[in-house]
Every structure is written in structure tokens, then in C-alpha cells.
Amino acid sequence: MHLKDPLVLTEHHHPFDIRKSWGAYSPFYSVQEYPSPPNGCEITQLQRHGARYPTSGASMNIVSAVRKLQSVDKYAHPAMEFLSSFVYTLGTDDLVPSGALQSYEAGASVFERYANLVDADNVPFVRASSGVRVVDSAANWTAGFFAASHHKYNPPLSVILSETGNDTLENHMCPNAGSSATQTAEWLAIYAPPITARLNAWAPGADLSDRETSALISLCAFHTAATTPDTLSPFCALFTLSDFTSFDYYYDIDKYYNTGYGAQQGLGRVQGVGYVNELLARLTRMPVRDQTQTNRTLDSDPATFPLNRTIYADFSHDNTMVAIFAALGLFRQPRPLSTSEPDARRTWRTTQIVPFSGRMVVEKLACDEGGEYVRILVNDALQSLNFCASGEDSFGVDLCSLHAFVESQSYARSNGGGDWERCFS
């Protein structure tokens, strides 16, 4: 998939791809070129579902904003004229065709990279949380893998974890967990009013609210993904580069304070503990040790949680993946994200962390120097493991010995350091 003319030049003549400023609604892209591993490996891949329609909750603000814009007598700016004949047809929640393709291409990519790890007796073990778009993404991934293998290896979707029970691929099991509503409202009150004023001037009488303005920016992404994947939606032309940059930061704040490091009482990252303990079990080929949200019945059965595969693929949601990243210790920030001004040096960028079809790959490597090592890639970008790697190691900080990596995960191994109990106290 290639958008036509998604790049524009800033005033300093630097290219700016607006697709990479849609926060969690950005399409998948490789943050860096994939670096080939030193030698043989096993992999665990965690992936978000592909591009979808807006959720039912988000659709309310979107539909309200569109109706207001279409209710005015006359537009004062030509960028609004398309609304005279525009018909809103987006669904809710489910994958769009471009989202299905994202997962299909991801499955094909995994086979192409790791074909040497697959044989008739060892195909990927695939799990998904039970949301329809997550299950569909997993099925599209397996179809892509099957096609790339020239229809030789067809991995089944082996386990669908129920969202009503214990599920490490969901983030609904911590009743006391708060939300990022306070922090996102603070940033919305700063960045949105000038945009709202401009749009209301272009559509006199529309009386858009700031939340509806933010919803219209998201519609640029949703409408592009759903109906015009090869070109930008006309809604995108209503906004400037600065608008998109501010909107992008809105979702950085949202994820950071919802299930990331900034969540109240540590109840964000603790929701990733169960998955991290499952990951450690796979890496060490030892039984899962966890007292949080793991499904102990499934995890204790080799048929539903095998420890002898070379490729594992799990499918989940963005908020869950953020919790897992934080539980692992990835993307730590020197200070909490400001709700009044973006830090240009931050590495917490939602569009690079959990875009649609975003993915984390954990590779266990058998290196020529001896021993087993671990490295982690998020959207193909190799992550610093300075919490367990030694700067004096010949491999640098992008690779940890398996033992050092396991030891570094004390937060998960202690079941969240008491945070899990706070979910219910």
C-alpha cells in the first residue's frame, strides 16, 4: 500500500509524512530497516490488530461533528465544499480491507524472515484475544504465512482467549485502573481551541466543540484507511502540519497515562505482567509462574501453551501492548510526559510504538560466541536493552544474555511488586 503524495514539505523543506502523525491510528511502517540476527533464533511476536473503523464511542463525536459541518448554510473556505455531497458510511469496530491486508503482509514477512525455523512438525503457535477484529487479524496473518510458504505450512489459530476470563492479551482485569482522561483533557484544552475556532470560521454556525475537532482529525485517518487507502481523505486537507503534530502528541499522552508508565498507582504496566511471565516461560522453556491475569488452565496444558515451538504469534490491542512494553522496561522516559508542551526528545511516540498492525518481536539467539541471547524489535526498530545488557559487551546494549534478561524482569517476576493487589484493594 502506497499513499499518493502523503509527503509535504515543512517551512524548513524537510519532508513530513502526515500518516506518521496519526498516533494509534497511523498505518504500520517499519521505524527502521530490519537488522538480520547474528545467527539462528526462536521468535515470539506480539501484534496489534490491523486498521479498523472507529469504535462506537469514537463514532459518536465523529458523526456529531460531520452533521454540524453539513448543517451550515454556506462554507467560507473551499476546503469545506466536499461536505456538501459527502455521505458518512463508516462502520464501527471491525477491520477495514487495508487493515486485513496489513496482517496478511505481516504473516508473509515472518515466513520470509524465519523460514529456516519452520518444518512440518513445527509451525507457528498462534493465539488471539477474542475480539472480532483481533481474531480476524490473526486469521489474516496465518493466511499470509501460508501463502508465503507456497501453501506448504498453514499454522492454525490454536487458542482464542476469552475476554470474559483471564486473558493476558487484554487489559480489562484491573478494576481499579484509571484512565488518561484528565491528562488528555489538559492537552486538548491547549492545542484544540485555535483549530476549533478556524473550522468554525470556515463553517459559520457549525459551533464545533474541541472534542469534535479532535474527532475530525481522527476521521482523516479512519476515512483514509477505510475508503481511500491509496490517497488522502479530503478531511485531511482541513488541517495543518502543526494540527497533526499536536493530535499525534494527544495519543502519546493517552497511552502513557492510560496503561503506560504514567498510569495512576502503577496500574498501567502491571496489566502487562502476565504476558511478560508467559514470554519468560517461552524463552526458558519452563512452566509459567504468575499470579496475575494468566489463564492457568490453558498455560499449564502443552496443547494450549506449548514450550517447544520456534515461532509464537499473539494478537492483541494497543493498550495491552503499551502495558507490556512498560512492564518489560521499554521506552522509559527521563520524566513524565508534560500535558502542556511536548518534549521533542521523547522516545514515547505512539505512532512508532503501536500503530495499526504494530508489532513487537522477541528473538532468542544462539550466537557463535556461545550461549543464548535475547533482542527485541518494535516495528522493526531494535530496542536498547540497557536494563540488562552491558555496555562493555561486544554486542552492545541491543542484546542481552538470556540469563541477564530473565533477571532484569524482576517487576514481572514479582507479579508487579504489589501493584496487582492494588487492582482490587
What's phi and psi for 269, nearest 5 deg?
-65, -25
Whole-angstrom distance between the N-terminal and C-terminal Cα of the chain? 48
Nearest by Cα to 313 from 171, 103, 149, 165? 103
CB 118 within 8 A of CB 111: yes
Give residue for cell 504476558: 275
Q: Is 419 assigned a catalytic role?
A: no
- One of 5, 318, 393, 398 is an active-site residue; which one? 318
Report the C-alpha gap between 218 and 200 in whole angstroms.
Answer: 18
- One of 49, 252, 254, 317 is an active-site residue; which one? 49
Tell me, rounded to whole angstroms, the distance of Cα 308 from its chain centroid. Answer: 27
Cell numbers placing 17: 509524512
Q: Is 77 assigned a catalytic role?
A: no
| DSSP calls for 232-281 | --GGGGGS-HHHHHHHHHHHHHHHHHHTSTTSGGGTTGGGGHHHHHHHHH
43: left (phi over 0), alpha (psi -120 to 50) or beta: beta
Tell me which DSSP letter residue 117 carries.
Answer: G
**What one-letter code names the amino acid at 390?**
S
Cα angle vertex 299, ends 403, 162, to 5°? Answer: 130
**What one-letter code names the amino acid at 398?**
D
Sign of CA dihedral 265, 269, 272, 278: negative
Catalytic residue ranges = 49, 318
